């Protein structure tokens, strides 16, 4: 993909402590390399700490508090997984409001691993085909989604992947979707 294909695009990565390190860092790197500007948004200021395998990982600087973020300022939203991260995010009213408003824009919304929990909380998965970490299968089906075991699932504006092993395909799907834009993707 052309290294400038996302030039001028601004991508929100919404996370808090306990995000799966690879699921934030690898998409961020791929999007930055494609020319996008990535912005880490969180309910807390300062830094958030990643989870790497079975212990705490590296910290990442928070660029903007979710309370100060406007969903209309971004061309895409990435929701990393990890068990701790989305469980906390879906319990935060400001996060739920941000994600609900963002999803309503029709722009690329990508979630990996446990990331779909936040979308489940927002109520946008009914009738969608999704994938995730296998333990979310019943939750997603109960929310009205059709769960499939695939590397990447694209359903309209939504992109889903199962785990860190799927990140190369997940990243490619996000870059392609954002480069097409809302109108082309809907066609």
Active site residue 46: no
Active site residue 123: no
Tell me if residue 180 falls in helix, strand or coil.
helix
Which tokens sit at 2?
Answer: 């052309």
Compute how many other C-beta atoms are within 10 angstroms of the C-beta atom of residue 138. Answer: 10
The residue from 28, 107, 114, 128 that is catalytic is: 114
From 42, 76, 82, 63, select the one nearest 159 (Cα to Cα): 76
Give the integer Cα–Cα distance in Å for 160 and 166: 10
Which helix or strand (DSSP H or E) is residue 24 part of?
A: helix 21-33
Which tokens sit at 96?
Answer: 């739920």
From 91, 93, 81, 85, select the one nearest 163 (Cα to Cα): 81
**Tokens 């209309």 identify what position?**
72
The residue from 25, 34, 62, 113 that is catalytic is: 113
Alpha helices (runs of H) in 36-115, residue ranges in sequence order = 84-89, 93-104
Q: What positions carry a catalytic annotation?
A: 113-114
């Amino acid at each position: 993909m052309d290294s400038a294909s996302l030039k001028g695009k601004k991508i929100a990565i919404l996370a808090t402590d306990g995000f799966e390190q690879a699921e934030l860092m690898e998409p961020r790197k791929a999007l930055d390399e494609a020319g996008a500007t990535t912005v880490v948004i969180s309910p807390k200021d300062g830094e958030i700490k990643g989870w790497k395998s079975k212990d705490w990982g590296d910290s990442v600087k928070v660029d903007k508090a979710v309370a100060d973020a406007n969903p209309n300022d971004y061309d895409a939203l990435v929701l990393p997984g990890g068990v701790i991260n989305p469980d906390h995010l879906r319990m935060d009213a400001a996060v739920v409001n941000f994600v609900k408003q963002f999803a309503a824009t029709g722009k690329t919304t990508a979630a990996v691993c446990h990331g779909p929990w936040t979308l489940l909380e927002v109520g946008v998965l009914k009738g969608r085909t999704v994938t995730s970490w296998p333990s979310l299968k019943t939750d997603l089906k109960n929310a009205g989604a059709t769960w499939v075991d695939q590397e990447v699932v694209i359903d309209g504006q939504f992109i889903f992947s199962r785990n860190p092993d799927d990140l190369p395909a997940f990243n490619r799907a996000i870059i392609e979707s954002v480069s097409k834009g809302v109108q082309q993707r809907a066609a």
